[in-house]
A and B are shown apart, each in its own frame.
Chain A
Amino acid sequence: MKIIILGAGRVGESVAESLVSEQNDITIVDTDIGKLMQMQDRLDLRCVAGNATHPSVLRDAGAEDADMLIAVTAFDETNLVACKLAAKLFNVPMRIARVRSTEFQDMPELTGAGGFEAQTVICPEQTVVDTIEKLVEFPEALQVLEFADGRANLIAVRAYAGGPLVQQPIGEMRKQLPNVDARVVAVYRNDRALACEAATVIQPGDEVFCLAASENIRAVMTELRRMDKPVKRVMIAGGGNIGLRLAKKLDGHYNLKVLERDKRRCEYLAGQLSSQTLVLQADATDEDLLTDENVNECDLFLALTSDDEDNIMACLLAKRLGARRTVAIINRRSYAELMQGSGIDIAIAPSQSTIGELLKHVRRGDIVAVHSLRRGAAEAIEAIAHGDTSNSKVVGKRIDEIDLPKGAMIGAIVRGMPAESTDDTSADLARAKVLAAHHDTVIEPEDHVIVFCENKRIISKVEKLFQVSVAFL
Chain B
Amino acid sequence: MRTLFPVLRVLGLTVVLFGLTMLAPLLLAWIGNDAAQKAYDEAILITMLSGAAMWFAARRYKRELQPRDGFLLVSLSWTVIPAFATLPLLFYFYQAGQPLSFTDAYFETVSGLTTTGATVLTGLEKLPPSINLWRHLLVWLGGMGILVLAVAILPLLGVGGSQIYKAETPGPMKESKLTPRIAETAKGLYAVYVGITVACVLLYKWAGMNWFDAFCHAFSTMGLGGFSTYDASFAAFADRPWVDVVAVIFMVLASVNFAMHFLAWRRKSLMPYWYCPEARFVLLALIGSALFISLYLLDRGVYADWTAALRYGVFNTISIATTTGFANTDYEQWPIFAPVLMIFLSCFATSSGSTGGGIKMIRALVLLQQAGRELSRALHPKQINPVRIGRDAVDNKVVFAIMAFMLMYGMTVIVATFLLLLSGLDEKSAFTAVMASINNMGPGLGKVGPASNYQGLTDFQTWVCTASMLLGRLELFTLLVLFTPAFWRK
Contact = CB atoms under 8 A, between A and B. Distances in A.
A19 to B, nearest CB: 11
Interface in B142-199: 158-159, 161-162, 175, 177, 179-182, 184
Sorting the interface of chain B by its residue count into under 10, 10 to 19, 20 to 34 or 35 or more gives 10 to 19
Sorting the interface of chain A by its residue count into under 10, 10 to 19, 20 to 34 or 35 or more gives 10 to 19
A345 interface: no
Given A25-B180, A27-B180, A44 B175 contact: no
Contact of A25 (B159, B161, B181): B181
B277 interface: no
A40 interface: yes
A420 interface: no
B180 A46 contact: yes
Contacts of A27: 180
A37 B175 contact: yes
A40 B177 contact: yes
Interface in B55-85: 67
Contact of B180 (A26, A37, A41): A26
Nearest to A2: B180
Interface in A18-40: 25-27, 37, 40
A43 interface: yes
Contact of B179 (A41, A42, A43, A46): A46
A330 B270 CA distance: 50
A44 B67 contact: no
A456 to B, nearest CB: 14
B162 A44 contact: yes
The A interface, classified by DSSP as helix, strand, loop or mixed, is mixed
* Residue from A2, A25, A40, A46 whose CB has the most chain B CB atoms within 10 Å: A46
A128 B159 CA distance: 31
A399 interface: no
* Residue from B175, B180, B182, B184 whose CB has the most chain A CB atoms within 10 Å: B180
Contacts of B177: 40, 46-47
Interface in A25-73: 25-27, 37, 40-47, 62
A447 to B, nearest CB: 36
B179 A44 contact: no
A43 B159 contact: yes
Contacts of B158: 44
Nearest to B155: A23
B67 A41 contact: yes
Nearest to A34: B395
Contact of A45 (B161, B175, B180): B180
Nearest to A33: B395
Nearest to B395: A33
Nearest to A62: B180
A185 B181 CA distance: 35
Contacts of A26: 180
Interface in B192-223: none
A23 B148 CA distance: 19
A53 B177 CA distance: 22
A37 B67 CA distance: 14
Contacts of B180: 2, 25-27, 44-46, 62
B175 A25 contact: no
Contact of B182 (A42, A44, A47, A62): A44
Nearest to A40: B175
A62 B185 CA distance: 14
A39 to B, nearest CB: 11
A37 B177 CA distance: 11
A346 B158 CA distance: 34
B179 A25 contact: yes
A14 to B, nearest CB: 17
A43 B177 CA distance: 12
Nearest to A26: B180
B159 A42 contact: yes
Nearest to B267: A64
A444 B184 CA distance: 42
Interface in B371-405: none
Contacts of B181: 25, 44-45
Contacts of B179: 25, 46
Nearest to A48: B176
A221 to B, nearest CB: 40
B3 to A, nearest CB: 19
A25 B184 contact: yes
* Residue from A44, A46, A47, A62 whose CB has the most chain B CB atoms within 10 Å: A44
A462 B158 CA distance: 24
Contacts of B175: 37, 40, 47
Interface string A71-93: 00000000000000000000000
A154 to B, nearest CB: 31
B65 to A, nearest CB: 12
Nearest to A25: B180
B9 to A, nearest CB: 19
A40 B163 CA distance: 10
Interface in B232-253: none
Nearest to B162: A44
A192 B159 CA distance: 26
Contacts of B184: 25
A44 B159 CA distance: 5
Nearest to B184: A25
A46 B159 CA distance: 12
A32 B67 CA distance: 22
B181 to A, nearest CB: 6
A222 B184 CA distance: 53
A25 B177 CA distance: 12
Contacts of A47: 175, 177
Contacts of B182: 44
A61 to B, nearest CB: 9
B33 to A, nearest CB: 46
A45 B180 CA distance: 5
A339 to B, nearest CB: 26
Nearest to A36: B175
Contacts of A44: 158-159, 161-162, 180-182
B398 to A, nearest CB: 12
A225 to B, nearest CB: 39
B436 to A, nearest CB: 36
Given A44-B161, A45-B181, 7 more contacts: A25-B179, A25-B184, A41-B67, A44-B158, A44-B162, A46-B179, A47-B177
Interface of A: 2, 25-27, 37, 40-47, 62
Top 6 A-B pairs, shortest CB-CB distance:
A25-B180, A46-B180, A46-B177, A44-B159, A27-B180, A26-B180
26 contacts: A2-B180, A25-B179, A25-B181, A25-B184, A26-B180, A27-B180, A37-B175, A40-B162, A40-B175, A40-B177, A41-B67, A42-B159, A43-B159, A44-B158, A44-B159, A44-B161, A44-B162, A44-B180, A44-B181, A44-B182, A45-B180, A46-B177, A46-B179, A47-B175, A47-B177, A62-B180
